[in-house]
């Protein structure tokens, strides 16, 4: 599912309502959830797995995760990384570089664009980004 505008989402949900697939209360709830979703401030962890402090995992940490050693430190790091992966809302992003005010992201290994930290999910609609299963679940 791609990120779409609020207008398109309301039309989509009204068609579902007209087909008797959902009731009026569910329709209102889904519209409200989508509006709240779009208003969330952007965080780096929505694009790439980040720790609880909002920092991207380091190459050293990724080497440890990929090597799969059998110790408690590895298991804790892997668990933290898997939780971070589940918090990612948008598919196909890599962090290219960052500054105090923005992130330069690469989408699907090719397209670069700058995302300013003081923007919301709604500002990404023009990029037609693909939502992860976690993001879709937030909207149900």
pLDDT for the residue numbered 67: 75
Taking only the tens place, the pLDDT of each residue in 103-140 is 999 998 887 889 999 999 999 999 899 999 999 999 99
Asked if 57 and 84 count as a contact pair (C-beta separation under 8 A), the reply is yes
Q: How much is the mean pLDDT over the chain? A: 91
* Predicted TM-score of the model (pTM): 0.87
Residues in the chain: 140
User: Of 133, 134, 121, nearest to 9 (Cα)?
Assistant: 121
Asked if 86 and 134 count as a contact pair (C-beta separation under 8 A), the reply is yes
């Amino acid at each position: 599912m791609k990120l779409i505008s609020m207008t398109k989402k309301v039309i989509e949900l009204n068609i579902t309502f007209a087909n008797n697939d959902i009731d009026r209360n569910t329709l209102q709830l889904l519209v409200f959830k989508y509006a709240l979703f779009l208003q969330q401030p952007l965080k780096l962890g929505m694009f790439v797995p980040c720790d609880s402090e909002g920092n991207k995992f380091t190459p050293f940490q990724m080497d440890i995760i990929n090597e799969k050693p059998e110790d408690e430190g590895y298991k804790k790091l892997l668990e933290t990384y898997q939780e971070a992966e589940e918090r990612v809302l948008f598919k196909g992003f890599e962090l290219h570089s960052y500054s105090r005010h923005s992130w330069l992201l690469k989408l699907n290994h090719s397209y670069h664009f700058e995302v300013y930290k003081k923007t919301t999910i709604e500002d990404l609609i023009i990029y037609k980004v693909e939502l992860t299963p976690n993001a879709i679940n937030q909207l149900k």
